Amino acid sequence: MSIAFRPIRGLKRCVEKGGRGDPRSPEQHHFFVSPLSVCLSRCFAGRGKNTYAYMHALQEQHYVYLNLKDCRVYCLPENYEVKDASLDDIIYNLHPTYTKEDVAQLSTRIIYGKALDGADYIPGCVGLNNLKRTDFCNAMIQSLCTVVPLRNWLLLLDLSHVQNYDPVLQTLGELMRKIFNARNFKGIVSPHEFLQAVGVASKKKFRIGEQADPLQFFCWLMTRVHQSAKHKKLNSNVVNDCFQGEVEVRTTTAEGEATGQPPSVSRVPFLFLTLDLPQAPIFKDSLDRNMIPHIPIFDLLQKFNGEQIQEATPGTLKRYSLWRLPKYLVLHVKRFSKNNFYVEKNPTIVTFPVKHLDLREYVHEDAPADLNPVAKYDLVANICHQGKPHDGQYKVHVLHA
């Protein structure tokens, strides 16, 4: 596949790109903004005679083509390679690359970018196009950008030596590199190719045009990345290194609890912890307004103090305590409940500290100290749902430091 350029009087350039399938696919993606105008048409395959690219060059006088795979530029119909420094920015924006030094600087200094229209933007904090109800994906991707080890691994990810690589992992790496590209032509990035790969791989469970749960998407995506990263030529455990912790579960029955029977003990790995909200009040105040309760997050975390009993299934009692804390802790406040008729959203407001969330008191007393050298967390991302259960949208607040 290729992108076609037609210089006019040294100022005007036309840019074209399409899908990966049929060379006549109408799918387009805008990469380059010219000073005067932009022409979007079809994508083309091949360079030889009787190919669509060759015929398009003759019919439309679009002579310069960029190969989307190896980034080499050719002039058609003569079919010779073009080497010109003026094309470097276009090639770089197609496939941004980073060195270890570039990645290290992201954590030590703030880098600003400038769009072609003169607007400033901060790489890593650019907007993502909402491609029709894809805010669940955009919010999660923005959150993952704050996870430094995962971010660095994706920025340096090189799949050129890997055969049969996962297109989800490939497009996720490309998306991450474009988000942190300080040479972007605009302060916004489109996740279109990534969402297409996700839609195919998830069998349309997560797709453009249909709302989904960000937590379910997170679990699916991290499982996919973890499986792909175990490839012998990648040999990475980045997902578990970032998010995996362990919780100790003591399980007993109602009869065993009454007779003092020792519980069964197991340690279960987790990528996130679910916090259960109390039932919202059904009564109204004196002004006939619904009361919205407030609750501190520490009350919800009592679920993991090792003493509070949770009835997982009828007759089965469980107590939870944290055994090993992850580097990045994902907490899920369960707001939605479903019955036979509708989905209900719990409006309870949860208050929490932005810095120094201390979980030491929820760590099991027998857990080795070297497993949890640090038990305090600072907030780096917060995804919230706004609106009604069926037609609301997800928004995210992220920390840029």
Residues 232 and 312 grouped into a single domain: no
Q: Assign 91 a pLDDT band (cuts: 50, 70, 90).
A: confident
For residues 103 and 91, membership in a common domain is answered with no
Would you say 304 and 322 are in contact if contact means Cβ atoms under 8 Å apart?
A: yes
Burial of 128: CB neighbours in 10 Å, binned 0-12, 13-18, 19+: buried
Final residue of a structural domain among 207, 238, 269 = 238
In a shared domain, residues 197 and 313: no
Tell me: do 216 and 260 sit in the same domain: no
pLDDT band for position 359 (50/70/90)?
Answer: very high
| Residue 230 reports pLDDT greater than 70 | yes
**Tally of structural domains, the chain:** 3
Residue that wins the pLDDT comparison between 208 and 313 = 208
What are residue 366's phi and psi, to 5 degrees?
-90, -5
- Note whether 214 and 140 are within 8 A (CB): yes
- Residue 355 and residue 250 in one domain: yes
Instruction: Answer yes or no: do 266 and 297 share one domain.
Output: yes
Find all residues with CB under 8 Å of 36, minimum gap 6, and list them: 11, 12
187, 222, 238 — which closes off a domain?
238
pLDDT digits (tens, 9 = 90+) for 43-90: 677 778 888 888 888 887 888 888 877 788 888 888 888 888 888 888
Domain that holds residue 179: 96-238
Q: Residue 84 forms beta bridges with which residues? A: none
Are 84 and 5 a contacting pair, CB within 8 Å? no
Question: Which CATH number goes with the domain that contains 145?
Answer: 3.90.70.10
The CA-CA-CA angle for residues 115, 120, 126, to 5°, reads: 80
Query: For residues 235 and 168, what is the distance between their CA atoms, to the nearest angstrom?
Result: 17
Query: Which of 28, 63, 95 is a domain's end point?
Result: 95
Question: Residues 6 or more apart from 335 whose CB is under 8 A from it?
Answer: 277, 345, 346, 348, 385
Tokens (6 digits) for 261: 């029977």
Identify the three-state secondary structure at position 22: coil
pLDDT of residue 41: 43
User: What pLDDT does 286 receive?
Assistant: 60
Q: Whole-model pTM?
A: 0.82
